[in-house]
Chains A and B, each alone.
Chain A
Amino acid sequence: MENLNFSQKTIAWLNSANGISNRKIDALFNYFGGNPKDLWDNFKKEKNNLKLKQEIINYLIKTKDDFEESFIQKLKKESVKIVTLLDDDYPKKLKEIDGPPYILYYKGSLSNIDNISIAVVGSRKATSYGKWAAEKFTDELSELGVNIISGLASGIDTIAHKTALKSNVKTIGVIGCGIDIIYPKSNERLYREIVENEGAVITEHPFGMQPLPNNFHARNRIISGLSYGVVVIEAQERSGTLITAGHAANQGREIFAVPGNIDSLYSKGTNALIKDGAKITTSINDIIEEILELKERIKQKQNLIDYSTLSDDEMKIINCLKLESKTIYELNEETKIATGNLLSLLTMLEMKGALKQLTGNKFIINI
């Protein structure tokens, strides 16, 4: 990033103070009537009415003048970009939630962020069942071309990211520390791969922020906020994963809980979610069913058959089948195409996805 706009500068500056929460930034903006310029110019004057801790005010005033230059340098050094709530390219889905982060630091690209995204989350200590389920669902979701969002933690998160990379879809990791800190260290390579594959690693925390327990709480709201739905693979009771699910519920996102054995420690959380009304998820269809946009997408995919590429005889068959399903005999009668030829045309059409075969030797148009 070469330079910052005014709101970016202001928000980044506020955010850089250790200990200032997103809610505080929100309060400050409200105080100044939502005008970043006002905030920037009059901060010093109003400093005692802002209900901020003295050390934060001191830090902010101290760093204010040199902030932009040193900040841009840091961004360049780490090749990090930022986007703020006031920018147009801020993730639309995230804007909808209660208390969206004012600033997002990211590596990689956000150009695909408004595509349908699904979060796949779960326990850090995954069982083999959990690993299998994570891989299965991520893989099947990838086939639908959705973004996979997760938390770049070990366990289920890692598997979700890795599977998405393997299936060549964009994956987004939301972390609970500064963008310049890699946690856990073992995921350094994964971190790099996500960025290289035009996915993104995102955080709302300023440079140098350590992975403190509290940060993860806040991070989880971004994971669910960015997604259309959250697939919970395995979760223990009272775990961060359940917090993500809680956020998702508050944000009106669908929660898909993968059931597990009732004696498994790692499925207690997911089973509890199911008890509380989360969608019990045993196949990809359970997910597709609940997300309107996915359903639409599948429909569109199937409608992609370009009828103009079909031959005359093929069109004859399609026209015959427009109203109802028919047997080969009926098709034979109506199209007057010789049986042998008809059979090969039907195979061709089926391969093109234009029609389907039913039991009872019937054919139907694929809609």
Chain B
Amino acid sequence: MLSKIKTCVLYGLEGYEVDVETDLSGGLPNFSIVGLPDISIRESKERVRSALKNSGFGFPVSRITVNLAPANLKKEGSQIDLPIAVGILAANKIIEKNIDEKTCIIGELSLDGNITVVDGALPMVISMRNNNFEKVVVPDENKEECGAIEGIDIIPMGSIRELVHYFNGYLDIEPYKVNYNYSDYNETFQEDFSEIKGQPAMKRAVEIAAAGMHNILLLGSPGSGKTMIARRIPTILPDLTFEESLEVTKIYSISGLLNKNGLIKKRPFRSPHHTSSRVSMAGGGSKPSPGEVSLSHYGVLFLDEIPEFPKNVIEVLRQPMEDGNISISRANGSFTFPAKFMMVASMNPCPCGYLGDPTHECTCNRGQIDKYLGKISGPLLNRIDIQIEVSPVKYDDLNNDKTEESSLDIKKRIVKARSIQQKRYLGLGILTNSELSGKYISKFCKINKESQELLKDAFERLGLSARAYNKILKVSRTIADLEGIENIETKHILEAIQYRNLDRKYWR
């Protein structure tokens, strides 16, 4: 009386096939699970026992041995509840028909026999499809997120009873399909760019940053609208494509942050507080889960008051900003999560916040200011393409009812600029200008002789730092793309230089 059921465990974002072998034999009644199960799986004994009993199938009085193969792989996650229960039912011949090798079962059990939601269903389903499975049984509540996957049948299941009927052939459940029609999908936001009065330079910088996915640093006194504009950046970013959406949903799925709406269509906007720890930023834990950098994949990671963050928290951003992913190594393995985000950071010019403010006096001394600015390390500054200084809004500007441009108008321009970039970088594994590096910069950011002379002149006269050079080229590329111009012109470079002002004024 042996049965074999296929299920899946997750390592990072990757799902691995696991066999649940169940053997019923004579002897003293006993229930043991072997094959490196973790605590959540050991506890599933109790859930399985009660769920079977309460579903009316009874728990076999015999010696039950469950083996999770391969035996050398550590297994984690409550999704193994259901396959164990099914294994017992199959071994006990309550499920009479053979469950074939191409069917994978995942799901957690509640004591009443219902199948409840699991974390990470989407990445598991995708991995199983890639492992040539034909059918996967998922909890009913996970069907929305999984329904969009092509090439594998999604069988949503509400309870053990339903499942037994299904496998015995008394109940027919249609594979669940969701059709996401991305063309008529329109995300609605509560915020809008038109609410920001004045501040054209800040808006312009943010628009360029969004168009090229450039990291941006906003520096200014309190009340200049830094946070306000940062929160509105998702409203001008292009909608997620299906592939992007799938990738983002995977990350949210394993983090257990999905609601029932299925795939995530809104670009993520994460705003971790400055008391966040290193692990919460990078991801980790004994069972590594994605951190803020991965949760903001394809979206915006907003760090408000960046100097207030502990230095070691900020420094973990360096690798993901460079590589677009983060590798976390722990005793039980190394995991890689994607982390391609647009960093938006804001800060005050000094600890009191009023350096250079027209209406308040700054009370900091030079040493305090240097210490404050020193919290932003050179390597981090190096990875920020656009830096701008913003000044507080005047009362008159707040009060006037001049209509400002709406997010939708700005978004149109950005979408256009992005599609130019995508066309240009087709097949290079690059989506946006911000990802250009070394040889690609010299290939795609060519400037004519006149501009070269000018840039050289600017370096000497304006005292730009060497790190600014590539940034200026990349940002000029984006400005030209926004205008739909193929070659970078002098005026684009001149404008890009303006976005390196802080280097000159604050960090020399």
Chain A: which residue is nearest B357 at the CB level?
A360
Could you mark each residue 170-207 of chain A with 1 if its beta carbon is under 8 Å from any beta carbon of chain B, else 0? Answer: 00000000000000000000000000000000000000
**How far apart are the CA atoms of A340 and B349 in the complex, in Å?**
24
How far does the Cβ of B453 sit from chain A's closest Cβ, in whole Å?
11
Contact A329 B200 (CB under 8 A): yes
**How far apart are the CA atoms of A84 and B203 in the complex, in Å?**
71
**How far apart are the CA atoms of A328 and B349 in the complex, in Å?**
18
Chain A: which residue is nearest B394 at the CB level?
A329
Could you mark each residue 343-378 of chain B with 1 if its beta carbon is under 8 Å from any beta carbon of chain A, else 0? Answer: 000000100000111100000000000000000000
Chain B: which residue is nearest A332 at the CB level?
B200
Q: Do A344 and B491 form a contact, CB below 8 Å, given A329-B397, A332-B201, A362-B391?
A: yes
Chain B: which residue is nearest A360 at the CB level?
B356
How far does the Cβ of B506 sit from chain A's closest Cβ, in whole Å?
8
Across the interface, which residues of A come within 8 angstroms of B498, CB to CB? 343-344, 346-347
Contact B491 A341 (CB under 8 A): yes
**How far apart are the CA atoms of A339 and B199 in the complex, in Å?**
10
Interface members, chain A 54-110 (any B CB < 8 Å)? none
Across the interface, which residues of B come within 8 angstroms of A361, CB to CB? 201, 220, 356, 388-391
Secondary structure at chain B's binding surface: helix, strand, loop or mixed?
helix
Q: Select the stretch in B2-10, B92-100, B431-439, B455-463 that faces chain A.
A: B455-463
Q: Does A239 contact B (CB under 8 A)?
A: no
Secondary structure at chain A's binding surface: helix, strand, loop or mixed?
helix
Contact A327 B491 (CB under 8 A): no
Q: Does B501 contact A (CB under 8 A)?
A: yes
Contact B200 A328 (CB under 8 A): yes
Partner of B497, one of A328, A340, A347, A360: A347
Across the interface, which residues of B come within 8 angstroms of A327, CB to CB? 391
Q: Do A351 and B201 form a contact, CB below 8 Å, given A341-B491, A344-B495, A361-B389?
A: no
Interface centre among A341, A358, A360 (most CB of B within 10 A): A360
Q: Does A21 contact B (CB under 8 A)?
A: no
Contact A343 B201 (CB under 8 A): yes
Contact A360 B358 (CB under 8 A): yes
Chain B: which residue is nearest A327 at the CB level?
B391
Q: Do A351 and B458 form a contact, CB below 8 Å, given A340-B479, A346-B498, A359-B389?
A: yes
Across the interface, which residues of B come within 8 angstroms of A127, CB to CB? none
**How far apart are the CA atoms of A64 and B498 in the complex, in Å?**
75
Interface members, chain B 489-508 (any A CB < 8 Å)? 490-495, 497-498, 501, 505
Interface centre among A345, A357, A361 (most CB of B within 10 A): A361
Contact B201 A360 (CB under 8 A): no
Could you mark each residue 446-479 of chain B with 1 if its beta carbon is under 8 Å from any beta carbon of chain A, else 0? Answer: 0000000010011001100000000000000001
Across the interface, which residues of B come within 8 angstroms of A346, CB to CB? 498
Across the interface, which residues of A come within 8 angstroms of B35, CB to CB? none
Chain B: which residue is nearest A347 at the CB level?
B494
Q: Does A27 contact B (CB under 8 A)?
A: no
What would 9 more interface pairs be, CB under 8 Å, given A347-B462, A361-B389, A361-B390?
A328-B201, A339-B203, A341-B491, A343-B494, A344-B495, A347-B497, A351-B454, A360-B391, A362-B356
Selected A-B contacts with CB under 8 Å, 21 pairs: A329-B198, A332-B200, A332-B201, A339-B201, A339-B204, A340-B204, A340-B495, A343-B494, A343-B498, A344-B492, A344-B494, A347-B498, A351-B457, A351-B458, A357-B501, A359-B349, A359-B389, A359-B505, A360-B356, A360-B357, A360-B358
4 tightest A-B CB contacts, nearest first: A360-B356, A344-B494, A359-B356, A347-B494
Which residues of B are in contact with A by a Cβ distance under 8 Å?
Answer: 198-201, 203-204, 220-221, 349, 355-358, 388-391, 397, 454, 457-458, 461-462, 479, 490-495, 497-498, 501, 505
